[in-house]
Amino acid sequence: MEYVIEMLNIRKEFGNFVANDNITLQLRKGEIHALLGENGAGKSTLMNVLFGLYQPEAGEIRVRGEKVEITSPTVANDLGIGMVHQHFMLVQNFTVTENIILGAEPKSGLQIDRAAAREKVRQISEQYGLAVDPDAKIEDISVGMQQRVEILKTLYRGADILIFDEPSAVLTPQEIQELIQIMNRLISEGKSIILITHKLKEIKTVAHRCTTIRRGKYIGTVDIDETMTENRLAEMMVGREVNFDAEYSKANPQESVLDVKNLVVKDSRGVEAVRGLDLNVRAGEIVGIAGIDGNGQTELIEAITGLRKPYSGEVYLNNKPITNLKPRKVTESGIGHIPQDRHKHGLVLDYSIGHNMVLQTYYKKPFSKGGIMNYNAVAEKAKKLIEKFDVRTPSVDTFARALSGGNQQKAIIAREVDRSPDLLVAAQPTRGLDVGAIEFIHQQLIEEREKGRAVLLISFELEEILHVSDRIAVLYEGKIVAYRDPKETNELELGFLMAGGKKEGADQV
Amino acid sequence: MKLERFYGILIPILSIILGIAVGAIVMIAGGYDAGEGFYQLYYGIFGEPYSIGETLRATAPLIFAGLAVAFAFRTGLFNIGVEGQVLVGWMVAVWIGISFDLPTAIHLPLALIGAGLAGALWAAVPGVLKAVFHVHEVITSIMMNYIALYLTNDILRRYIGITNERTETVKESASLASTFLSELTDFSRLHNGIFVAVLAAAVFWFILWKTTLGYELRAVGFNKSAAEYAGMSVKRNIVLSFVISGVFAGLAGAMEGLGTFQNMTLNASFTGVGFDGIAVALLGANNPIGVVLAALLFAGLNIGGLSMQQVGIPPELIKIIIAFIIIFVASGYAIRLVIDRFTTKKDMAKTSKGAGK
């Protein structure tokens, strides 16, 4: 069997910490090879070694059978290795072509040969069925398209080994389907792909083989065929059995906690994103909002939590109006908020995890007294929360930045749940997390419900919505167009409603 | 985290060494005796009690100006208007110093507070413009410098009274001058301001790392979105940060008005103290101890540079050294890259080039 990449017994240390311990990964020509592992398992480190960003302490790398030293990304590029990053590296106000040629511009004399570049981009796009418009500006195209530009960029530079770093994390279900098609097209054209992911379903759909690592150690490489179940993959990844279909107890909804009435919210460009929305969430239930990204989710959450002023309409919490309150007043009136973007809103990444644990309560006793902080009390509180919610961090003084995504999210949830809010707004709480962390977070949401609190869950993952919610509200173009009972609906019907489809009217539950 | 701290100290020190090395090259290239030049520089700083006194005297305003820039920076703001805030602080300090007859215990603190408030008020303008109208603070604070320069000159002429281009001397009850310090240093102009400056560095630390306000200010500096989410008022914090920064800047002016000069002269151009503050904050890594040390270094270089003239070396050379130190600090990222390169275990091993095609 011919291998295009062989990473043999790779070891990478950071100080005393062993990020990769004797890991082997062999990529066959023309296969999609999944690299599976929890957040912080060492997947990215291994790929950064392959891409020349880190030098391994031990082990060797062979490319097409030849032993190589990959000392920098340039060397990796020369070897035909390309990386499609999770966070795109694109210049927003450049065109697709300009972004692709950036750093490798074809020249005629002193000038950039734009016509030639454009033609080549068009040609590659056609060959691999990417359907990218070479003249579109990045800021005008969708996230899915931007990802294709990243793919095109690597192809333009002659890559035939592509590393995809969690490519579906930022995509809608529709875009994920298209990405899968693209990946299949790529291998049919002779490329080889390493797919970094922790989404088991994707591995089942697209990958040929899968290498699993857990806490920096090599667990094994398996063929993905009919006999391989998602449960077995999950077990390999987390090292214990994972219960996917945990049956949660039935909800017992009480009085209404959140009432949104005829709410209109404009987005940053002044366009109405939420258009006369009505919604209520009762104590002791989880209401899931299903909808395609960009149908007003962000604006709705921001309006409820006080981060954005609604244009008109009312929001009531426990029958008291909170419509125009400032974020602090909203928080104090009893709302907990797990924000959609944990790096932008949820955490101050350059603050220690201890500092972050009191982000909304720092001004209260015992953390602050007479304007002076009591950082001992802060640390004590943080220690308790870290223990209770199993946040894995070396200490309370560790920067939030240094924690893995799953642990950052656990920290946010610990902080929000600990304040015992009447309403918990959870926006994409499991985005980018692995199954172990997802399971934990779902349990926390259920626990909150069981304590008689109201939970509003916003997610783009229909599976999650169906799994956790007691009631599903479908959001389309800024309005709730239908309510469904998760027991009596399925992804198909929800997908149809989310796309604006009408069926038997918008019945209320 | 430890590594960060290591770099935080290493880069400024390396920058100083490299800056001085460039100074040596320039001296040699210019046909001067570099050894003699550096001896004079050293002598000019440490050689006599007088020069030590003058160095410390020049340190005080630089500490304040450095703290002013650093404080705003910790909240994610660039206060380039320190120079203007120094001028208004200086003027108000002198005005209070010459206009009232009060016991020292009241007069001196009153003059200092007045200077601080004047600086705060001047700094509040770009702060409010930034918070309310989202006008970039660099532009407005630079413009406020020019307004301060010409307005203070005008007020000095019109209302405070000028003879021979300068105001009257401040009353003894408002003066920072210390006969003890002056005599100790062979009649230099060293005054009590240096103690006030060191105290201010401690206050800087206390506000940012001990108070609730400091927790907010730093959070806003790191991540405005998260601060807003947490219920902090970003606008209020921006204004407050500028105001506190302005207090430090205004007090830098008081060091000159109540200490060094005991008066205020009409200024044809900027004093430079405010701009040096940017360099001090940069070299001091926006850390209070760092700022004090950086202020000492820059004051030393400026005072010591005067002695270099005695062997014919132009004092502008000092400006070159300072400029290069700043360039090296600012390119700290590049220095890190070089260090990282040398510390990676195995490196530069040749790769089989072109194996791809």
Closest CA to B296 of B285, B283, B286: B283
Pair (A219, A298) in one structural domain:
no
Task: Write out pLDDT tens, residues B315-334.
Answer: 888 889 989 998 988 887 67
- Minimal Cα–Cα distance from A255 to chain B, Å? 28
CATH code where residue B123 lies: 1.10.3470
Pair (A226, A189) in one structural domain:
yes
| Beta strands, E only, A102-240 | 107-108, 111-112, 161-165, 192-197, 209-214, 217-223
Which residues does A483 contact at the CB level (< 8 Å), separation at least 6?
Answer: A471, A472, A473, A474, A506, A507, A508, A509
- B300: exposed, middle or buried (Cβ count in 10 Å: 0-12, 13-18, 19+): buried
Pair (A136, A264) in one structural domain:
no
> Which pLDDT score is estimated for A1?
64
The minimal CB distance from B228 to the residues A57, A68, A307 is found for A307
Tell me, yes or no, whether A364 lies in a domain: no
Domain count for chain B: 1
Pair (A223, A260) in one structural domain:
no
Q: Which residues of B touch A373 (CB under 8 A)?
A: 210-212, 214-215
Pair (A234, A260) in one structural domain:
no
- CA pair distance A2, B158, nearest whole angstrom: 90
- Integer CA distances (angstroms), A460 to A298, A474, B94, B331, in order: 12, 11, 65, 43
**Residue B344 and residue A75: Cβ atoms within 8 Å?**
no
- Minimal Cα–Cα distance from B81 to chain A, Å? 27
- CA pair distance A274, A265, nearest whole angstrom: 5
**Residue B346 and residue A373: Cβ atoms within 8 Å?**
no
CATH code where residue A151 lies: 3.40.50.300
Q: Which residues of A touch B356 (CB under 8 A)?
A: 78-80, 158
Segment B280-301 mean pLDDT: 94
> Which pLDDT score is estimated for B346?
37
User: Looking at this predicted complex, what is its ipTM?
Assistant: 0.85
Strand partners, A290: A459, A474
Which residues does B97 contact at the CB level (< 8 Å), separation at least 6?
Answer: B107, B111, B170, B171, B174, B175, B257, B258, B262
Residue A481, domain extent? 256-334+421-498
> Which pLDDT score is estimated for A439?
87
Closest CA to A43 of A79, A10, A4: A10
The minimal CB distance from B215 to the residues A70, A327, A362 is found for A362
**Residue B351 and residue A355: Cβ atoms within 8 Å?**
no
- CA pair distance B277, B78, nearest whole angstrom: 12
Tell me, yes or no, whether A380 lies in a domain: no
Pair (A186, A329) in one structural domain:
no
Tell me, yes or no, whether B195 lies in a domain: yes
Residue B69, domain extent? 58-301
Residue of B nearest to A159 (CA): B356
Strand partners, A197: A36
Which residues does A147 contact at the CB level (< 8 Å), separation at least 6?
Answer: A84, A88, A167, A170, A171, A175, A179
Angle between helices B212-222 and B193-210 (to 10 degrees): 80
Q: Are B226 and A347 in contact (CB under 8 A)?
A: yes
> Which pLDDT score is estimated for A105?
83
Pair (A201, A261) in one structural domain:
no
Task: Write out pLDDT tens, residues B191-248.
Answer: 999 999 999 999 999 999 999 999 999 999 999 999 999 999 999 999 999 999 999 9
Interface test with A, best of B205, B210, B229, B352 (most A CBs within 10 A): B229
Q: Which residues of B touch A350 (CB under 8 A)?
A: 222-223
Tell me, yes or no, whether A459 lies in a domain: yes
**Residue A360 and residue B348: Cβ atoms within 8 Å?**
no
CA dihedral over A204, A205, A209, A214, signed as positive or negative? negative
Q: Are A117 and A106 in contact (CB under 8 A)?
A: yes
> Which pLDDT score is estimated for A87?
79
Pair (A223, A271) in one structural domain:
no
Q: Is A210 helix (H, G, I), strand (E, B) or coil?
A: strand
Q: Are B223 and A348 in contact (CB under 8 A)?
A: yes
Amino acid at residue number A282? R
Pair (A78, A123) in one structural domain:
yes
Domain count for chain A: 2
Q: Which residues of A touch B1 (CB under 8 A)?
A: 397-399
**Residue A349 and residue B227: Cβ atoms within 8 Å?**
no
- CA pair distance A205, B178, nearest whole angstrom: 82
Q: Are A311 and A299 in contact (CB under 8 A)?
A: no
Interface test with B, best of A332, A348, A397, A415 (most B CBs within 10 A): A348
Phi, psi (degrees; rounded to nearest 5) at A415: -65, -45
The CB-based long-range contact list for A60-67 (8 Å cut-off, 24+ gap) reads: A60/A8, A60/A9, A61/A5, A61/A6, A61/A7, A61/A8, A61/A10, A62/A3, A62/A5, A62/A6, A62/A8, A63/A4, A63/A5, A63/A6, A63/A161, A63/B355, A64/A4, A64/B355, A65/A3, A65/A6, A66/B352, A66/B355, A67/B352
Segment (H or E) for A261: strand A256-266
CB pairs under 8 A between A and B: 104
**Residue B351 and residue A55: Cβ atoms within 8 Å?**
no
DSSP A432: T
Pair (A288, A189) in one structural domain:
no
**Domain boundary, last residue among A238, A264, A298:** A238
> Which pLDDT score is estimated for B344?
52
Phi, psi (degrees; rounded to nearest 5) at B226: -65, -35
- Minimal Cα–Cα distance from B278 to chain A, Å? 23
How many C-beta atoms lie closer than 10 Å to residue B348's C-beta? 10
Interface of B with A (CB under 8 A): 1, 210-216, 218-219, 222-223, 225-233, 344-357
Q: Are B94 and B264 in contact (CB under 8 A)?
A: yes
Residue of B nearest to A52 (CA): B347
Residue B1 in this model has a pLDDT that exceeds 50: no
- CA pair distance B325, B14, nearest whole angstrom: 9
**Residue A158 and residue B356: Cβ atoms within 8 Å?**
yes
DSSP B259: I
Tell me, yes or no, whether A246 lies in a domain: no
- CA pair distance B137, B85, nearest whole angstrom: 14
Q: Are A138 and A94 in contact (CB under 8 A)?
A: yes
Tell me, yes or no, whether A379 lies in a domain: no
B126: cis peptide before it, omega within 30°?
no
Phi, psi (degrees; rounded to nearest 5) at A351: -95, 155
Structure tokens belonging to residue A341: 């973007």
Q: Are A302 and A327 in contact (CB under 8 A)?
A: no
Interface test with B, best of A359, A378, A393 (most B CBs within 10 A): A359
Which residues does B16 contact at the CB level (< 8 Å), separation at least 6?
Answer: B283, B297, B325
Q: Which residues of B touch A363 (CB under 8 A)?
A: 212
pLDDT tens digits, chain A, 509 residues: what are they?
Answer: 689 999 999 999 887 778 899 999 999 999 999 999 887 788 888 999 999 989 999 999 999 999 999 999 889 999 999 999 887 889 989 999 999 998 888 888 888 888 899 999 999 999 998 989 999 999 888 888 999 999 999 999 999 999 998 888 777 777 888 899 999 999 999 999 999 987 888 899 999 999 999 888 999 999 998 888 888 888 888 887 766 666 667 778 889 999 999 999 998 888 899 999 999 999 999 999 998 878 899 999 999 999 999 999 999 999 999 999 999 999 999 999 999 989 999 999 999 999 999 999 999 999 999 999 999 999 999 999 999 998 988 899 999 988 888 899 999 999 999 999 999 999 999 887 878 888 899 999 999 999 999 999 999 888 899 999 999 999 999 999 999 999 898 888 888 888 777 655 444 44
Residue of B nearest to A342 (CA): B226
Tell me, yes or no, whether B42 lies in a domain: no
**pTM, rounded to two decimals:** 0.79
**Domain boundary, last residue among A212, A238, A264:** A238
The minimal CB distance from B231 to the residues A71, A326, A397 is found for A326
Q: Which residues of B touch A327 (CB under 8 A)?
A: 228-231
Pair (A112, A142) in one structural domain:
yes
- CA pair distance B191, B179, nearest whole angstrom: 8
- CA pair distance A468, A142, nearest whole angstrom: 29
Q: Which residues of A touch B4 (CB under 8 A)?
A: none
How many C-beta atoms lie closer than 10 Å to residue A332's C-beta? 16
Residue of B nearest to A80 (CA): B356
Q: Which residues of B touch A307 (CB under 8 A)?
A: 228-229
- CA pair distance A479, A483, nearest whole angstrom: 11
**Residue A345 and residue B226: Cβ atoms within 8 Å?**
yes
Q: What is the end-to-end Cα distance of chain B in Å, rounded?
A: 43
Pair (A20, A144) in one structural domain:
yes
Tell me, yes or no, whether B83 lies in a domain: yes
**Domain boundary, last residue among A207, A238, A269:** A238
